[in-house]
Structure 1
């Protein structure tokens, strides 16, 4: 961001998921309605064609024809109701959410300067959104909902999405694929575009559980129905799974021991979360972390991880931020920057470094403030040495 203009393009790099989540919800509602309408329309067309064919053959009983027409009229009326419902849903909550989010994004484009109070309010709202996102990713839905209500940003956060994620992940941890498979069915087309193998992995796990329970007939039938259709892309895995029926869950044979490994359920949880994040273009990291990485990368130095040289005013030296900063590279400075241990301010030509006789260095501003409070005397906080301000020497950095 420059001092005179807000960098809208840079801001929007973080905001794609913000608009994508309600769009995906709206698309899902539309596709479901479309499928229902198409099903009714096909049924009406089939009945109409059958009635016309029988009329040509003069094989239609009048009473049967009347019943067929009444059935067709009933279906057409049902189709009319569904079309009317679809039109009324133009003001659905999902569309309202999308509208409010786009208006929120549009607001930042109207801001003329980063010093504008309107931009400060927009930034505060964005930070609240990122905090809610962080809380949701750590499974604290009640806290997230309370923050959203207090800040009035319910339509700007994805609480419902993360509630669905939590529900499906809990089912997987309870060793049930039903919820996850239902989600895959609802998003089959999108998952196919993403080339996701989540559905096959879930089907394979259900087959493994049948093999674990030694339900051989059920496992074979399940494989024919749900695994064989994937043979073009997963033939090797299907063949290995077929041989699994010859081995009990206590086997020590590595390929089949790995298939029976309970840790596969944890892998399914991670695969599901990755799939739903990709579908909604959500990053795998919390948005708050992504925003912090930029600042941490400009501050991170090797000395931040040296216990003897930690700076209380440095975010990277903090235990929590330091852990987060491990993900980013060290800062690269063409010119060295020296920070005063007393004031936390950078020492430069306007605030040059001053050295005690013992060699410890602090900024002139901080030492002048200390001298003004102590009759011209200054004290080194690390060694305890005291001297008159006039005894300090200006340090020149080469």
Structure 2
């Protein structure tokens, strides 16, 4: 392990979503509280103005004024109760999560080197978090909860967020847009700021389902209410949707056959997931994959994909990790590094590469010496079967 200074900045590159998710949750609580306050206090202000006007009138009834004041008091008490429930159920727990996560990140600043035992423990916790993240993204919620509970990282992972994602995706799989549209309503301003069109896509799909069911009048009414407000940015799609009513679900006309295609539901699920990831600043790939990409990119060589030159100790040569490594570029090595195909060890001045005299196959001196000791001085090429005396091998020099 390196004994240099700990690269704190590099570590923090992975941690933005870690701190951002609870922050966004608390912003949602704040926006909900703000809307409730504006709605209820607006009504109280209106009622207060009415009372003020009535008291100036000669025929005003004191009992009506008292009833109005009591109504105002009831509204304020209901608002107070609603805000208290919201704060206790979501606000305070979210603040506690934020505090725990920032404390976890601050601990890294006090560590000097990767050899610090405290950093090893911190890195183990980070790996636990990444394993939970991977499990949640792959639908293994029970596994994620077991890991989080066993390792004590419940406040450092986003199980609730992914539970909501799964709930909404399950509804989309059942061909219902209700849950996803409710989520869009809660996050309307953020989606608008990001210029995300998920809500329109969901509305269009609901319109298509009405057309599929032959409910043309309902589809026209739905279009006027939910699609026409998007005409400034989606007029071509709205026009095509209007023409859809002239075509049955069995049509072979390509543009309308594509609209009726049920694979659009899968596209909606993917669009929703990307939208919620974007709003939560979560990467589309699991954090575990991103970390592994960094390591695989430093090891990946063309030889890793050659069946004749695979190294048993190379992660990229492993079938499963090699598949993941396909996403990253080949590593750039200024100096040559040659690895023995028998032992998996690097060949250098202390373990010279040796070549067979006829076919030129190269292996490490250590591997061939061990082979010669077991075969009375003879060595055998595991690739071609060529046999010769150890003394006949040619020594090579690395440049």
Q: More displaced, 268-277 or 68-77? A: 68-77
> For 1:14-59, what per-residue CA distance to the aligned partner results, in whole angstroms no more than 9, with x for missing partners?
1111111111111111211221122111110010011112222334
Does residue 106 (structure 1) correspond to residue 106 (structure 2)? The answer is yes
Partner of 2:299: 299
Partner of 2:362: 361
1:272–1:87 CA distance, 2 compared to 1 (3 A): closer
Q: Any idea what SS the aligned residue of 1:362 has?
A: strand
- How far, CA to CA, are the matches of 1:162 and 1:208 in structure 2? 28
- Cα distance, 1:218 vs structure 2: 1.2
- How far, CA to CA, are the matches of 1:362 and 1:350 in structure 2? 13
Q: Is the 8 A contact 2:311 2:340 kept in 1?
A: no
- Cα distance, 1:244 vs structure 2: 1.4
- Cα distance, 1:350 vs structure 2: 3.5
- How far, CA to CA, are the matches of 1:266 and 1:90 in structure 2? 31
Give the TM-score normalised by structure 2. Answer: 0.92
Q: More displaced, 129-138 or 268-277? A: 129-138
1:11-26 matched pairs, under 5 angstroms: 11-26=11-26
- How far, CA to CA, are the matches of 1:285 and 1:136 in structure 2? 12
- Cα distance, 1:376 vs structure 2: 8.3
Partner of 2:233: 233
- Cα distance, 1:264 vs structure 2: 0.8
Q: Is the 8 A contact 2:336 2:398 kept in 1?
A: no
- Cα distance, 1:361 vs structure 2: 3.0
Q: Is the 8 A contact 1:339 1:346 kept in 2?
A: yes
Q: Is the 8 A contact 1:135 1:141 kept in 2?
A: yes
1:79–1:161 CA distance, 2 compared to 1 (3 A): closer
1:1-398 matched pairs, under 5 angstroms: 3-82=3-82, 92-357=92-357, 359-367=360-368, 374=374, 377=377, 379-380=379-380, 382=382, 383=385, 385=387, 387=389, 392-398=393-399
Q: Is the 8 A contact 2:361 2:381 kept in 1?
A: no
- How far, CA to CA, are the matches of 1:126 and 1:386 in structure 2? 52
- How far, CA to CA, are the matches of 1:95 and 1:155 in structure 2? 11
Q: Structure 2 regions of 5+ residues with no counterpart?
A: none
- Cα distance, 1:200 vs structure 2: 0.6
Q: Is the 8 A contact 1:131 1:288 kept in 2?
A: yes
Q: Is the 8 A contact 1:111 1:119 kept in 2?
A: yes
1:329–1:170 CA distance, 2 compared to 1 (3 A): same
- Cα distance, 1:197 vs structure 2: 0.2
Q: Is the 8 A contact 1:37 1:82 kept in 2?
A: no
- Name segments (4+ residues, structure 1) moved above 6 Å: none
RMSD after superposition: 2.3
Q: Is the 8 A contact 2:310 2:341 kept in 1?
A: no
- How far, CA to CA, are the matches of 2:378 and 2:112 in structure 1? 47
- How far, CA to CA, are the matches of 1:133 and 1:85 in structure 2? 29
- Cα distance, 1:123 vs structure 2: 1.0
- Cα distance, 1:196 vs structure 2: 0.6
Give the TM-score normalised by structure 1. Answer: 0.92
Q: More displaced, 80-89 or 228-237? A: 80-89
